[in-house]
Amino acid sequence: NVLILDFGSQYTQLIARRVRELNIFCEIKPFNHLPEDLSGYKAVILSGSPSSVRSDTAPHPDLSEIKGKKPVLAICYGAQYIAHFGGGNVAPSNTREFGRARLTHITPDPFFRDVPRDTQVWMSHSDTIQQLPGGAKLLASTHDVENAAYVIESENLYGIQFHPEVYHTKEGKRILKNFLVDIAGLEQTWTPAAFVETTVAGLKEQIGEDKVILGLSGGVDSTVAAVLLHQAIGEHLHCIFVNNGLLRKHEYEEVLEQYKHMGLNVKGVDASARFLDALKGEDDPEKKRKIIGRVFIEVFDDEAHKVEDARWLGQGTIYPDVIESVSASGGPSATIKSHHNVGGLPDFMKLKVVEPLKMLFKDEVRRVGASLGIPDERLGRHPFPGPGLAIRILGDVSPEKVAILQEVDHLFIQGLRDWGLYDQIWQAGAILLPVHSVGVMGDERTYEKCVALRAVESTDGMTADWVHLPYEFLQKISNEIINKVPGVNRVVYDISSKPPATIEWE
């Protein structure tokens, strides 16, 4: 296991990604939340930072339990930090150095094994190391940065000014591997199957004979979390799947059926009427979201009470959520779920939280899911928002509108599947617009609803672009929708990117 100490760099997550890609497990910890027990870590990586080591407010953690005791790779700020407090000198660069640079080796070292003598690296810093720390040997330079890489051999510590974790550093992965495998002696054994084995064993120990409640959404994360927990504690896992009446057509019945096939102990709760009642007449998007969130908590709390002696709440939290919560709360407070045992909250929130996926990135969750035998259909499912079709019905929501949108969405998604387009798309769906327009069907004038189709490509939902669906497909699907869904006489395709638009319309 590798410890990545985060000094607040925008690239810290990328370091973790690269290390995991080498099949080596790693964890990110905020610099001011150094674990007390470091015995499980075979190597430590110090990240970059937006701060300057010369500033009083910059991260200045005590590394006495690390430095000289474990192999260390200090990147950018990390390398400057070691230099600044180790007898070297760090000063502002004459020019800020961002972007590509050519790195040339000065001294041969296993750190640069199989890396060409002249290689492209990525720089992003405004301070520079003018004088190396005591005991350090210069390993490599660039045109503008003399001290671009150094080693303190007696401590097995490497300092580098460039960023091996970004793709623009051509040999970045090789350099990380050289450090982690050859120098620190880590084994490349972290695979989805190994993760399942250790996680299931860990969950057994953590939970023992207790009962766990988990809310399933039909999505990838909660499903994989449930299957892992089920392998660990079997029937002591109680899953709840709530139909909020805003799911896709047949989604509730199909997903429930699929969960039963997976052997999960799932209780389906059809609370459609309760949600739709609460939404009646509300046309403000944020208020709709709040209503749905509140009703969900009420329904879930009611159901959770029916499971006697439940001690744990299972959640499908994944790594980006954890990291975001840590940074949002100012870094150090790793107590992310600080609401435990606070009065006034629903009872299920007072349960202890177990989050088996909280160390995984999304694609790793999918790989773990596949190794657990979860059907591809579930793992490859497009993201679907918690408030469901309510935020795709612009304006107020009614059962009739939900029924119309379910039909349109079903035809669209099924069409994408039939045409082999579904898996190339990150997210797709239909939107019911609060617009009526004139049409003509047969000899009759119509004055009916308009729907928009949306299909986007993205990697994380933060930015997105519309998909260039084939005209033939759009033509066919538009015809099909207008012919088959009463009440709709016009179909448009959304060609906005995010930003400046968003994926959902509300």
Nearer to ligand XMP, 298 or 494 (CB): 494
- Applying CB under 6 A, which of residues 383, 434, 470, 486 lies at the interface with ligand XMP? 383
Helix, strand, coil content of the chain in percent (nearest 5): 35, 25, 40
Secondary structure of 470-503 as H, E, C letters: CHHHHHHHHHHHHHHCCCEEEEEECCCCECCCCC
Query: Applying CB under 6 A, does 503 fall inside the site for ligand XMP?
Result: yes
165 part of the active site: yes
3-state secondary structure 266-321: EEEEECHHHHHHHHCCCCCHHHHHHHHHHHHHHHHHHHHHCCCCEEEEECCCCHHH
Shortest Å, Cβ 350 to ligand XMP: 23
453 binds ligand XMP (CB under 6 A): no
| Selected range binding ligand XMP among 71-79, 83-91, 227-235, 383-391, rule: CB under 6 A | 383-391
**Lateral strand order in the sheet of 352-354:** 266-270, 237-243, 211-216, 310-314, 352-354
Active site annotation includes 450: no
Contact range with ligand XMP by CB under 6 A, out of 33-41, 121-129, 332-340, 498-506: 498-506
Q: Which of 215, 245, 387, 415 binds ligand XMP (CB under 6 A)?
A: 387
Question: Is 169 marked as a binding-site residue?
Answer: no
Of 217 and 272, the one with the shorter C-beta distance to ligand XMP is 217
First to last CA, the chain: 43
Contact 19, 176 (CB under 8 A): yes
| Token digits of residue 300 | 């879930």
Cβ at position 290, least distance to ligand XMP in Å = 10
Residue 106 Rama label (left phi>0; alpha psi -120 to 50; beta): alpha
Number of helices (H) and strands (E) in the chain: give both, helices first: 13, 18
Under the binding rule (CB under 6 A), the answer on residue 289 touching ligand XMP is yes
Residue 93 labelled as part of a binding site: no
Q: Is 219 annotated as a binding residue?
A: yes
Let me know if 163 is a catalytic residue: yes
Residue 381 lies near ligand XMP (rule: CB under 6 A): no
285 is a site residue for ligand XMP (CB under 6 A): no
The nearest distance, CB 418 to ligand XMP, in angstroms, is 23
What is the rounded CA–CA span in Å between residue 22 and residue 347?
42
Q: Given the complex with ligand XMP, which of 159 and 387 has the nearer CB atom?
A: 387
217 is in an annotated binding site: yes
Is 220 annotated as belonging to a binding site? yes
3-state per-residue secondary structure call for 97-165:
EEEEEEEEECCCCHHHCCCCCEEEEEEEEEEEEEECCCCCEEEEEECCCCCCEEEEHHHCEEEECCCCC
x-or-dash pattern for ligand XMP, window 425-444, by CB under 6 A?
--x-----------------
Main-chain phi, psi angles of 463, to 5 degrees: -125, 155
To the nearest whole angstrom, how small is the minimum distance from the Cβ of residue 1 to ligand XMP? 32
Residue 321 interacts with ligand XMP (CB under 6 A)?
no
**Of the listed 26, 76, 97, 364, which one is catalytic?**
76
Our finding on whether 502 is near ligand XMP (CB under 6 A) is: yes
Annotated binding-site residue numbers for ATP: 217-223
Q: Which residues are catalytic?
A: 76, 163, 165
Binding site for ligand XMP (CB under 6 A): 289, 383, 385-387, 427, 461, 498, 502-504
